[in-house]
Amino acid sequence: MEYTSTVTIGGWREKLGGLSVRRAALEDNELVERTLAGDVRSYEELVRRYERLVGRVVYSYARREVSVEDLVQETFLRAYDRLETFNPDYRFKTWLLAIANNLGVDTLRRRRELVEFNPETHAPISRGPEAEAVAADRSRGVREAIATLPETYGVPLVLRYTEGLSYAEIAEVLSITVPAVKSRLFRARNMLAGRLEEAGERG
C-alpha cells in the first residue's frame, strides 16, 4: 500500500491549540461518534490525546527516511479513513495502537536498516533536582537498551511498562495471544537485563 503521509486532515496539527474544554472532557467513543457525524475537531482531540503514545509505539520501527513524525501522522490518517470500522465495544486506544503497530510492521518489511536511537525523543519525566540526575541516567540507559532489542520484544516492553497496558490489550494491539504476550515479555526482560549488564561492564 502506498504511503499517504502527504495528505493532511485539514491541518489538524495547527488547530490543536483551539480545542474546547467540552471536547477535552468527552470520552473517546463520544469523540469518535462526533467525528463520524462530521466534527473534525473531535478527531483533533483524539490526536492530541494519543499522539505521544502512538509515537512511543512506532519509534522502534522508524528509519532515517521514515521518521517517527511520519509514522505518527500516517497512523492517524489511516485511523481516520477506517473510523467507520471501529467497534465501540472495544477501547479506541487499543484499536489505534493496533493500526500503529501494523503500520510499523509494514514499514519494516520495506526497510531493513538499523534503528538510529535518539535519546532526546522521550525525555524522562521531571522529578526532584537531585533524584532527577540519577533517574535520568538510569532511564536513558534503559531506553538505549530497549532500542537495541528487536521490535518484537521492544514494543511489548514499551506498551506494558511505559504505557501500562494489560496483557489482553497488548495482545489485541499486536494481534497475538495473551500467552504469546507473556512469553515475549519474559524473553524481552531477560534480553534487556543482559543488555544492561553488558552496558554496566563496559562503563
pLDDT in tens, 124-177: 444 455 544 544 555 566 667 777 778 788 888 888 877 788 898 889 888 889
CATH code, 130-203: 1.10.10.10
In angstroms, rounded to a whole number, what is the distance separating the alpha carbons of residues 108 and 166? Answer: 25
Sign of CA dihedral 189, 190, 195, 198: positive
124 or 11, which is more confident: 11
Which residues in the chain are classed under CATH 1.10.1740.10?
Answer: 1-116
Q: What is the pLDDT of residue 166?
A: 87
Distances (CA, A) of 123 to 89, 132, 139, 150, 158: 34, 11, 9, 22, 14
CATH class, 1-116 region: mainly alpha
- For the segment 36-49, the average pLDDT, to the nearest whole number, is 93
Ramachandran angles phi, psi of 27, nearest 5° = -70, 160
Whether the pLDDT of residue 17 is over 70: the answer is: no
